[in-house]
Amino acid sequence: MIRVGTRGSKLALAQSGMVADAIGRLTGEHVELVEIKTTGDGTTVPVAELGVGVFVNQLREALEREEIDIAVHSYKDLPTAQPEHLVIGVPPREDPRDVLVASDGRTLSDLGPGARIGTGSPRRIAQLNALGRGFECVPIRGNVDTRIGRVGKDLDGVILAAAGLKRVGRQAEVTEYLDPLVMLPAPAQGALAVECRKADMTSALISAKLNDRYSQAAVAAERALLQRLEAGCSAPVASLADVAEGADPGEVDLYLRGAVGAVDGSVIERLSTTAALADTGGPELAEQAAAAGRRLAEELLDAGAAQLLK
């Protein structure tokens, strides 16, 4: 039997269930979901105040105590420093974009000054304020059902991750998929992290069967940028990498965008870069992508991002 640790929310169970089904198909083993409550569950305190790792730490502790064999995380929740004794695989990434769910089917362009938009993310707030449309950003916590349930009541709309809505089957309620030119996503948004002990047999399974190398490289670039900026998952930092086969055999093209903003929207520093990566089939692809992320972070710091992150 393989034990898969998961948070108990509807979204977490849906995500972990997908991973568990894949593991069962690959191994023929019985796979059991083990629900674990984390510090971030059951509280209405804003994530920015709770700190990094609040949805992760208890799952990792259960791994270390060998109470579970695998932990499934939303990758964007993970601290940027990875424990050496744990290894992560990245299944194919879901849509990384943000979406708007608004009353009466409206889009952002339909919402006028004073429209109340629910989001507690400093990254989203900074980019909404930068539009200069006079929106009122309302802090909001809770699961997908709770957030959407406020639309048309005390909120005109909410901003959510497209991946989460798709995984719980509520994508039909999206009124607008937000172009990354308008709303650049959080680093690793839409990606899952399947984590296990490096010394276990399951690590070979994850690396060989569950890991999507292009998704892994994209996430490596985005999170390396975040780490070099010394910013946590609740900082007003956005990043998105596109990874695709290059024109030449053995070459992979990377297009990486990054942004750092003041929460009031007064300043947004946006930069991008491209890189041709050599693909030999090993871990070097993710390492090269991470190096590109660090280089773009340096450019953002030179452009003034350091002052915005203070």
Catalytic residues: 77
Residue with the bigger pLDDT between 6 and 282: it is 6
Average pLDDT over all residues of the chain: 93
Quote the pTM value: 0.94
Q: Where are the beta strands (DSSP E) in 206-294?
A: 237-245, 251-261, 268-278
Burial 24-36 (b: 16+ CB within 10 A, else e): eeeeeeebebbeb
- Let me know: does 88 contact 193? Beta carbons within 8 Å: yes
- Find all residues with CB under 8 Å of 274, minimum gap 6, and list them: 253, 254, 255, 256
| Predicted confidence (pLDDT) at residue 152 exceeds the cutoff of 70 | yes
At 202 the pLDDT is 83
Q: For 202-232, write each residue's pLDDT tens digit.
A: 888 888 889 999 999 999 999 999 999 987 6
Angstrom distance (rounded) from CA 128 to CA 239: 16
- Kindly report the CA angle at 279 between 273 and 284, in degrees rounded to 5? 80
Q: For 20-32, write each residue's pLDDT tens digit.
A: 999 999 999 999 9
At 49 the pLDDT is 57
| Predicted confidence (pLDDT) at residue 45 exceeds the cutoff of 80 | no
- Let me know: does 90 contact 202? Beta carbons within 8 Å: no
Q: For 69-93, write each residue's pLDDT tens digit.
A: 999 999 999 999 999 999 999 999 9
- Kindly report the CA angle at 239 between 36 and 118, in degrees rounded to 5? 65
